Amino acid sequence: MKVAVVGATGLVGSKMLQVLAERNFPVTELLPVASEKSVGKEVEFKGKKYKVVSAADAIAAKPDVALFSAGGSTSLSWAPQFAAAGITVIDNSSAWRMDPTKKLVVPEINADAITPEDKIIANPNCSTIQMVVPLNPLHKKYNIRRIVVSTYQSVTGTGVKAVEQMQGERNKEVKGAAGEYPMAYKYPIDLNVIPQIDVFLDNGYTKEEMKMVNETRKILRDDSIRVTATTVRIPVVGGHSESVNIEFEKDYDLDEVREILSNTPGVTVVDDPANALYPMPKDAHEKDEVFVGRLRRDESQPRTLNMWIVSDNLRKGAATNAVQIAEYLNANRLV
C-alpha cells in the first residue's frame, strides 16, 4: 500500500512511522508530509531516508491511506481534500471524532462499523482508547451504567515542548533567546500536578474531560452510559494512567472479571497486590497493550468495580490504534 503520514516530523507522526515499521505494514511507497517549513527535510523509515513533501504533493501522489497527526485545524483543512481524491484518511486529531457522519474506531471494539465509503475515520482520544478497550467486554457482560474516571496523563500527550519544559525544570537548563526553557504549561510541571488538560468549557469541565464522556458513548454505542471525568497532567514522560470506577446494571464476580479481561485482545492483567504488582507507566512504555490492575469491589455501593488502567499514550493511545485501523482496512480490502 502507498501510505502518507501527515505530521511525520511530530511526536505522534514519528511514532506512526516506528509502528508501521515494527508491525511490518505493507508499505510499498511512503510519503512523509509536514508543514511547508519542513518540506525537503528527511525522515527515516526502515533504514531509508525519505524527503518530506507538502500535503498538496501527497494528494497528487494518490496514496491508498493517509495517517494524520498534525492537529485539528490541519485535519479540518486537508482531510476532506485527501478524501475527495479517494484517499482514506485515519485522523488522530479531535476534528472529526464527534461528527455523526464519521466513524470513531478502536479496532478491538468497533472496526466492523467501517465501510468502503468511510473516507475519513477518526482515531479516538488517547485517554478514551485505553479505558474503553477493557471496559467493552465488561459492558457486554454486565451492562455499564456509570463511569467515574480520573486520569494521570503524561507530558508527551501535550507534545515536544512540554517534554522540554519538564526536563528543563528538572535539570535547571536554560534554553532560548529569552534565557529560559519553553513553557508549554502556565505552571511548572516538574514536582507538580496540573488539574487542567485543554481549555475549560462553560460547564466547568475541560475539553479533554468531555472528550472522554462523549467518545466513550460513541465507541461503546450506548448513549445511556453516564460518564464523569477529571483529567490531570503529571510529570511523567510516556504513559497515561487512569483510576476508573464502574457501576454495572448486573452484579459481577471478581474472578470472572479477571478471566474476561485476561481473555480480551489487547489487554494484559497485572493484578497481584500481595507482591506489589500493578500497572505503571514505566512498564507500559513502548508497549501496545492496555494494562489493568488494582481490581477490587467498591465497598461503598453495590455492583461497582474499581480498576487501574495504564497504557503508552503515543502507541495504543495514538499511533498503534491508527495503524491497526489501517491493517483492518487492508485485511478487509476496504481501500
Q: What is the 3-state secondary structure (H, E, C) of 92-106?
A: CCCCCCCCCCCEECC
Helix (H) or strand (E) holding 79, with range, is helix 72-84
Query: Chain-centre distance of CA 246, in angstroms?
Result: 21
Domain ranges of the chain: 2-123+318-331, 128-314
Give the pLDDT score at 231: 98
Give the pLDDT score at 176: 57
Cα gap 198→158, rounded to integer Å: 9
Give the pLDDT score at 180: 76
Give the pLDDT score at 156: 95
Q: Which three cell numbers stand for residue 126?
A: 488517547
Query: Chain-centre distance of CA 171, in angstroms?
Result: 29
Q: Tell me the C-alpha to C-alpha distance, in Å, between residue 170 and each of 111, 173, 183, 235.
A: 42, 8, 13, 10
How many other C-beta atoms can be found within 10 angstroms of the C-beta atom of residue 37? 9
Contact 211, 123 (CB under 8 A): no
Give the pLDDT score at 118: 98
Q: Say whether 160 sits in a helix, a strand or coil.
A: helix
Cα gap 115→84, rounded to integer Å: 16
Helix (H) or strand (E) holding 142, with range, is helix 126-142
What residues act catalytically? 126, 240
**Signed CA dihedral, 134, 137, 142, 145: sign only:** positive
Contact 242, 126 (CB under 8 A): no
Q: Which three cell numbers stand for residue 237?
A: 514522560
Cα gap 188→165, rounded to integer Å: 8
CATH homologous superfamily of domain 2-123+318-331? NAD(P)-binding Rossmann-like Domain (3.40.50.720)
Cα gap 316→195, rounded to integer Å: 23
CATH class as words, domain 128-314: alpha beta
DSSP-derived secondary structure letter, 150:
E
As averages over each run of 10 residues, the pLDDT of the chain (335 residues) reads 96 97 97 93 96 97 97 96 98 97 98 97 98 98 98 95 93 67 93 97 98 98 98 96 98 98 98 98 97 98 98 97 98 94
